[in-house]
Amino acid sequence: MDAPLTSRALRSIPELKYVNAENVSRYRAIMRFFYQEYKRLRYWMKPEEVFDGIARWGVLPDYTLEQCMADLEQLEQWGNLASRHDGGRAATLEEYMKKKMQYLLRPYSIEIERLLETLERVTGYGGSLESNLFDLIAEKLFAVRGMAWEHSPESAHELWTTLYDAFKRLHENAADYIASLQTTKAEEMMVAESFLVYKDRLTHYLRSFVQALQRSAYKIEGNLEQISNGVRDLFLERVAEAELDKPRLEDVPPKDVLIGELRQGWQNLRR
């Protein structure tokens, strides 16, 4: 059963305003700078550091520090950045009280920038048929069936992560690759003379994938059939325990909600 639609899922997203706002190039430059520094494990940034970083790119020749500070405040209002007072090097109370700020990229903004970075690399559907993942899925299901993880929530979590990541990669990459064969470009290629050369490679690629699926299908199906509901529930409970044991500052879902999500993932894989 899919998770119910909530009012939170239908809310407006002010964090996306900077992508199409007036002065979009200024906001995008700031956010990309923050994101690149985030990947370098640098989190809290001063306006001067942001301005200097953008200046080095040379994409905004008339940009000023005052404009940068105003843009940072606007991004904070939209929820893209968090701020704190920076009085660390103040020599006097007057200096401390002056408005010196540091800014931090918020979680929503990290995901937005991550998505935008990915979109910049998209040139088509892409995808691939990764036949080696069938064997990996069968192997990990056999480990669940054998309860090799039984005494350690950490090993159960590692096993589940490897198993489900392999399943998602297999599914998503195959879906993208098959979609690429349905495009107008593919149809045009198939009636061209040059397709005869491509056809043999494509046929071999598809055949190898199907043969790998046929070789692994019985192992995957057999392992799934041998994993009882009791073993599955015990396994997913250990996975949830390991997930909940991670020290976090943000709120975490209750254990029963987390187990429900894991069961949905298991059902997706089984189906």
96 burial (CB, 10 Å; 0-12 / 13-18 / 19+) is middle
Residue-wise pLDDT for 101-153, tens only, equals 899 999 999 999 999 998 888 767 778 899 999 999 999 999 999 887 777 89
Q: What is the per-residue pLDDT for 95?
A: 59
Of the candidate ranges 58-62, 147-151, 169-173, the one whose mean pLDDT is the lowest = 147-151
Domains of the chain (ranges, CATH numbers)? 8-120 (1.10.10), 132-270 (no CATH)
Mean pLDDT of 81-101: 72
Nearest to residue 55, comparing CAs of 44, 64, 45? 64
What is the Cα–Cα distance from 96 to 179, expressed in whole angstroms? 59
Categorize the per-residue pLDDT at 193 as very low, low, confident or very high, splitting at 50, 70 and 90.
Answer: low
Q: What percent of the chain has pLDDT over 90?
A: 65
Q: Is the pLDDT of residue 88 over 90?
A: no
pTM as predicted: 0.69
Higher pLDDT, 99 or 141: 141
Q: What percent of the chain has pLDDT over 70?
A: 92
C-alpha dihedral over 162, 168, 173, 179, to 10 degrees? Answer: 170
Q: What is the per-residue pLDDT for 155?
A: 93
